[in-house]
Amino acid sequence: MTDRIVFLDRGTIKAEIRRPTVPHEWIEYEATAPDQVVQRLRGAHIAITNKVPIRADAIAALSDLKLIVVAATGVDNIDLEACKERGIRVANARDYSRHSVAEHALMLMLALRRNLIRYHEEVRDGAWQRATHFCLLDYPIEDLQGATLGIVGIGAIGREVERLALAFGMNVLRAERKGAREVRAGRTPFIEVLRRSDIVTLHVPLTPETQNLIGREELALMRPDAILINCARGRLVDEQALAEALREGRLAGAGIDVLSQEPPREMNPLLAADIPNLIVTPHNAWASRRAAQNLVEQIVENIESFARGELKNAIV
């Protein structure tokens, strides 16, 4: 039997994809709007999606669908319960970007602690050229060495961030789950991590429990000289509350790679021009060349393992 494989948003990954070794027909689209999902997947046996949602109504309309391969780790764009009811298998990609995301998180920490953007802008605007002394010291510069880093989420990426942080000489706190009644060995209560950390970095998936993980109350617990890093999912953070905390000086800085809506078609509070000490990157922390190649190889391996009856990286 020849499987029809449809990749809904091939344009999200800049890497060469080898074709599966099983008999198949391969169809790919640069991008797919939500109202095009059913039309494009009709007759497909295997769907590949990075960020295009496949919801219950679409799943109910696709009688031939047997497998959904998510070209990412997070699967919040798939209705998993509907897949279980229909017997549709779901697989994701894992650990492919742990080095890329961890390095991006450290880059944001360094840039914020050392005021990299402000100093770059001063040089570009001619302030150094007009200076009396040999250097500019208009903004504070802080080392990572000796700083306390609170890591929320100790999966593959969180552990890689920890490894890099320890190499910099940082003190690391592993946060326990928010609201947990018991604190596991090697963990620190969530609230205590917020209060003690110079930097808090988020590396958890988006679930009903983690949505708005960091809101007004949590930001109020953080020190005014602390910074927040989010390279996980935008909806982990109350964006309006974060914008206000930065604007009012209740938080020293933030490095954000993800937003609640991507791309941000409507005005996001964190894209306002008057927010100080904020760096926003366009959800590309994961996207080093090596990480992208690791990702596409897992996509193909998931399809090939499914054909053998032993689905790799199974979620459903």
pLDDT 10s digits, 270-304: 999 899 999 999 999 999 999 999 999 999 999 99
pTM for the structure as a whole: 0.91
Residue 254 forms part of a structural domain: yes
pLDDT score of 1 more than 90: no
Residue 316 forms part of a structural domain: no
CATH code at 132? 3.40.50.720
Q: Are residues 172 and 299 in the same domain?
A: no
99 a catalytic residue:
no
42 a catalytic residue:
no
Residue 47 forms part of a structural domain: yes
Q: Are residues 131 and 229 in the same domain?
A: yes
Q: Are residues 58 and 158 in the same domain?
A: no
Of residues 283, 289, 297, 308, which has the active-site annotation? 283
The pLDDT value recorded for residue 302 is: 97
CB atoms within 10 A of CB 275: 17
Residue 236 forms part of a structural domain: yes
Of residues 262, 289, 290, 310, which has the active-site annotation? 262
Q: Are residues 163 and 210 in the same domain?
A: yes
Q: Are residues 146 and 113 in the same domain?
A: yes
Residue 62 forms part of a structural domain: yes
Q: Are residues 184 and 236 in the same domain?
A: yes
Q: Are residues 67 and 199 in the same domain?
A: no
pLDDT in tens, 66-121: 999 999 998 999 999 999 999 999 999 999 999 999 999 999 999 999 999 999 99
The pLDDT value recorded for residue 18 is: 94
233 a catalytic residue:
yes
Residue 313 forms part of a structural domain: no
Confidence of residue 266 (pLDDT cuts 50, 70, 90): confident
Q: Are residues 217 and 258 in the same domain?
A: yes
Range(s) of the domain holding residue 136: 98-280
Q: Are residues 49 and 189 in the same domain?
A: no
Q: Are residues 228 and 261 in the same domain?
A: yes
The pLDDT value recorded for residue 62 is: 96
The pLDDT value recorded for residue 97 is: 95
Residue 315 forms part of a structural domain: no
Residue 312 forms part of a structural domain: no
Q: How many domains does the chain have?
A: 2
pLDDT in tens, 143-162: 999 999 999 999 999 999 99
Q: Are residues 106 and 160 in the same domain?
A: yes
Of residues 98, 104, 196, 233, which has the active-site annotation? 233
Q: Are residues 294 and 240 in the same domain?
A: no
Percent of the chain topping pLDDT 90: 97
